[in-house]
Structure 1
Amino acid sequence: MDIQANLYYHKSADRIIGYADFGGEDNRLEVANKALVFMCQGVSRKWKQPVAYYFCHNACTATDVVRCLQEVLHAATTFGRFDVVATICDMGKNNVKALKAMGASIQTPYFTFGEKNIYTMYDPPHLLKCTVALFRKYSVLLPVEIGGQEQIMEAKFQDIIDAHTTDKNTPFIFQAMRKIKDIHLAPIMQYSMKVCIAAQVMSHTVASFLYILLSRGEMEQRTVATATFVQQVDELFDSFNGSQLTPGDKELKCAISQESKHLSYWERAYQTVKT
């Protein structure tokens, strides 16, 4: 995370505070402007606690991330007696490089610490924001089924913009996409970093309205690809965003269990994403 660069003299410790600091004797003569923070969070119980932080200048190197992660894992398992099952981070290039250096890969998404395999995941909200940001710039080719036959069609973000324009100009009092505003489709600065903005764009509501416009003949047939893509992203995000034990209106938006449909869904989703 970003922090304000600043130096000050700590009189009682007789040292200048504000330089990059990775603990112990590893202090560097670079003014810190970022912090690397580690947090522990419960899997089956609702709790979370920051447990370590390091100060760095610009981005931490992959080597620094590996060393800091190993220190935190050692402290968490040895002193905290935590049973660490997974790590979660964003897809910063140094994070990706660090996890690869520790042995994680697509084929084996885990690394070994001590005698235990610790699984690696990338933060779903960050993945959703990246997906929407890329979809604004690039179209997506994907297979869709029409009349019993599979065809490759092009999904475009412009279709969502056109649907929003149609919805705004409706003569009815209520809009189908009432949560979608202009700021969702062309976000500026801080809005582009909000997960809720991305989640509302790639939502079941938007996909449903696209299908409605298709059924009315108000959009070209190719738009079925856009509706399908939005629906697939919405379902994939839901599958990682469950906050309750049992499913509600969405069967994937719940905690994973032996009875839930997550595992079979993820197998299908993996094949779809891979193609």
Structure 2
Amino acid sequence: MELFKKPKSQYSAQQRLFCVTLHLHDQSLYNYLRNEIRLPIPEPRQLRQWLKTDCHNTGINSSVLEALLRKRQQYPEMYKRTCLIVDSVAISQHISYDSEKNELVGFVNFGKGANASVSQEVANEALMFLLVGLDGYWKVPVACFFIRTLTAQAQHQLILDVLHELADNSFETVAITMERNPLNEETCILLGCNFNDSKNLQTHFTLPNSNKNHYIIFDVTKEQQILSDMVEKTGIMLSPEGPVIWQYITDLMSLNKTTVKRACGNHNVESQLMDVKLMINKLGGNVANALNMLEGLKCERFIGSSATASFIKIVDRIFSILTSKIPWGQGDRSPINHINLQQKLCILQETEEYFLSLTTCNNIFVHQSERRQNILGILVNITSLKALLPDLLFKQNYIATQKFSMNHLKILTNRNPGDREKRPTAIQVKRALGHLLSQCGLWNTSEKKELLKNEMCFPSLSISCSYLYLPSPFQEDCVTLPDHIYSSNILDVMLQNSDMYIAGWIVREAFTQLTCNECRWALVTGETPQDFRSAYHLLQVKDCRCYFIPSNGTINHYVLSSLGPSDIFNLKQHIVETDLVTDNHYFQLIRMITSIFYKFRKAYITKVTQARLYRAQVKQILSKPINN
């Protein structure tokens, strides 16, 4: 009581830390002290103000929310419905000095108003929140907290605080994605979910004084691995079609040329089995096709494998639906829309019934046995999607289920090869968040590259790439220039302007990776051309007896931190469609061009560097150089 004798407007750092800590770890006690004992502690709304921060600091990032609100004024539907992805990362207990902010980083920190450096308690976990737009092409980190020994109660309360903040700003958060582990399952139960009855799962919860449901979705990639491990450890399960036997998959992976020829006679099946042996996912569709083929060829070791193949096909189909990504996908990987909604819902229902019908060798249902935890995640995801998809399609044209993927946030925790076993420090997480915000175009970093060395790093975020040859959209109407016509005026122009030649080569390399037509057009012309024959900034590519003359944005030199709002590629509306995201096409296009140019000039850069080092080691005596 002595701690709170001052007026409410004069809360000290110790008082704020006490209130936030009590709020996170025991909300019932906090309410008792406030309502029954009449302790002058703040209401929840004021506590959330203490959890806020700006820029790339720890807490709920108010700068990001303000930027999203400005975007929503222009495009209301694109910045309204969202999915919140939650993940925790173990960090090393290490205190670092941030020279830029002139502060120590590594203590427990919940935001600007609740920094625990006054208590000298060192954090060992970072809890991160990423917001993904369901009807737009954007994703951005909205909160990060440094915590000492994360508990389910603390995580539950922080999720509620973030959801309240999003709801106060009129964001409709329809789903929460997280990995499935005991801590997160307990958190879901505290939020209001119920996973006790596999046939009647409650996978949603609501905020107090709200009627909007928030659905839980577990990490699809991890659930796929858990299911594969269960089948391998169990060995045999019973399905409606017959026994599902892991040994068939093991035998398939161990096949060699001699075994195949002996088992299949003269049938040429080696090429069809080659892809199967290289597959990491042993429950993929190719594995099922290979088992059916070998059984059809009367291979003795694979007689009776049809039930196993059927199980694999069902698993592959459901995970294909749960990971649909591109709008033009086909089959099971196509996004859910008004046309195929009923078909997808039927598949979800059939798959749920199939998993509930699986039994062990002792005729005990798997969902009632000790293996129940292995299929719980997929049942939760199916239940959530069955309720969520029809409601979402009333408000948008299609749904790509990849929007609910944990992969969006796992980008942040990827590290350099060789450093994966080391836990990152708090300052490394903080700088990685700043780097991610710069990827989103929200924060232009001025830190030197040396500061990021050996820290958490991001893989090269590129626009949807394919290493297969992609046909040029300009190839049909291009003006061809045969080789070795040295009298050509166009060739003279290139000989006099080497920058144009080099930039054209770089654009050609970029075309082999870019699948976004708007970005490909931006490298050669400001707008979508009607007739490429009249486009003088196009020169055909040497590789196909032709060259490209790229747009000015490719030739000119820019520094990423000084770009600001400039649209150097003249992408216009396309920037808006991919703004405020980690896959921002505008910033990624700059990075791609820079990366290709560096690789092209790497040999020259190495040569110049070595020449400078050599000159530095040479002493000049009079006019004669003498080596050391």
What is the rounded CA distance, in whole Å, between the counterparts of 2:115 and 2:254 in structure 1?
56
The 5 Å alignment of 1:31-46 reads 31-46=122-137
User: Is 2:171 the partner of 1:82?
Assistant: yes
* Shift, 1:12, TM fit: 9.0
Question: What percent identity do the matched residue pairs reach?
Answer: 23
Cα offsets for 1:224-253 (capped at 9, x unmatched): 2321221111011011111234551x2x21
Cα offsets for 1:57-100 (capped at 9, x unmatched): 45x21111111111111222223x32111111110211111111
2:229 paired residue among 133, 136, 150: 133
**What's 1:97 paired with?**
186
The 3 A distance-change label for structure 1 pair 210 and 31 is farther
The 5 Å alignment of 1:159-178 reads 159-166=248-255, 169=258, 170=260, 174-178=270-274
The 3 A distance-change label for structure 1 pair 11 and 207 is closer
User: Is 2:98 the partner of 1:17?
Assistant: no
> What is the identity, as a one-letter code, of the residue corresponding to 1:54?
F
**What's 2:205 paired with?**
111
Q: Is the 8 A contact 2:295 2:304 kept in 1?
A: no
Q: Is the 8 A contact 1:155 1:229 kept in 2?
A: no
What is the rounded CA distance, in whole Å, between the counterparts of 1:83 and 1:64 in structure 2?
23
**What's 1:191 paired with?**
none
1:94 aligned counterpart, secondary structure:
helix
> What is the identity, as a one-letter code, of the residue corresponding to 2:106?
G
What is the rounded CA distance, in whole Å, between the counterparts of 2:240 and 2:137 in structure 1?
40
What is the rounded CA distance, in whole Å, between the counterparts of 1:222 and 1:35 in structure 2?
50
The 5 Å alignment of 1:195-274 reads 197-198=280-281, 201-218=282-299, 219-245=301-327, 248=330, 250=331, 252-260=332-340, 261-274=343-356
Q: Is the 8 A contact 1:34 1:55 kept in 2?
A: yes
Q: Is the 8 A contact 2:131 2:140 kept in 1?
A: yes
* Shift, 1:10, TM fit: 5.5
> What is the identity, as a one-letter code, of the residue corresponding to 2:178?
C
What is the rounded CA distance, in whole Å, between the counterparts of 2:304 and 2:316 in structure 1?
20
The 3 A distance-change label for structure 1 pair 246 and 3 is same
What is the rounded CA distance, in whole Å, between the counterparts of 2:229 and 2:182 in structure 1?
17
What is the rounded CA distance, in whole Å, between the counterparts of 1:11 and 1:41 in structure 2?
32
* Shift, 1:129, TM fit: 1.8
The 3 A distance-change label for structure 1 pair 43 and 11 is closer
The 3 A distance-change label for structure 1 pair 204 and 15 is same
The 3 A distance-change label for structure 1 pair 20 and 229 is farther
The 3 A distance-change label for structure 1 pair 257 and 10 is closer
The 3 A distance-change label for structure 1 pair 167 and 34 is farther
| Stretches of structure 2 lacking an aligned partner (at least 5 in a row) | 1-88, 196-200, 262-267, 358-628
**What's 2:433 paired with?**
none
> What is the identity, as a one-letter code, of the residue corresponding to 1:117?
N
1:91 aligned counterpart, secondary structure:
coil
| Stretches of structure 1 lacking an aligned partner (at least 5 in a row) | 146-151, 185-196
What is the rounded CA distance, in whole Å, between the counterparts of 1:153 and 1:253 in structure 2?
28
**What's 1:69 paired with?**
159
Q: Is the 8 A contact 1:256 1:262 kept in 2?
A: yes
What is the rounded CA distance, in whole Å, between the counterparts of 1:30 and 1:214 in structure 2?
63
The 3 A distance-change label for structure 1 pair 44 and 134 is same
**What's 2:96 paired with?**
8
User: Which structure ranks higher in relative contact order (CA pairs < 8 Å, sequence separation ≥ 6)?
Assistant: 2
Cα offsets for 1:180-232 (capped at 9, x unmatched): 457x6xxxxxxxxxxxx33xx22111100011111122234442232122111
> What is the identity, as a one-letter code, of the residue corresponding to 1:21?
N
Root-mean-square deviation over aligned CA pairs: 2.7
What is the rounded CA distance, in whole Å, between the counterparts of 1:72 and 1:130 in structure 2?
30
The 3 A distance-change label for structure 1 pair 221 and 94 is same
> What is the identity, as a one-letter code, of the residue corresponding to 1:202?
L
**What's 1:194 paired with?**
none
1:159 aligned counterpart, secondary structure:
helix
Structure 1, 3-12 or 91-100: larger mean CA deviation? 3-12
2:226 aligned counterpart, secondary structure:
helix
**What's 1:148 paired with?**
none
1:179 aligned counterpart, secondary structure:
helix
The 3 A distance-change label for structure 1 pair 168 and 6 is farther
Cα offsets for 1:29-53 (capped at 9, x unmatched): 5533332111111112222111111
The 3 A distance-change label for structure 1 pair 243 and 268 is same
> What is the identity, as a one-letter code, of the residue corresponding to 1:47?
W
Cα offsets for 1:161-197 (capped at 9, x unmatched): 2112225554659532433457x6xxxxxxxxxxxx3
The 3 A distance-change label for structure 1 pair 120 and 208 is same
2:289 aligned counterpart, secondary structure:
helix
The 3 A distance-change label for structure 1 pair 67 and 160 is same
The 3 A distance-change label for structure 1 pair 46 and 56 is same
> What is the identity, as a one-letter code, of the residue corresponding to 1:43?
L
Structure with bigger strand share is: 1
Q: Is the 8 A contact 2:294 2:302 kept in 1?
A: no
1:166 aligned counterpart, secondary structure:
coil
1:19 aligned counterpart, secondary structure:
coil
**What's 2:147 paired with?**
56
* Shift, 1:143, TM fit: 2.1
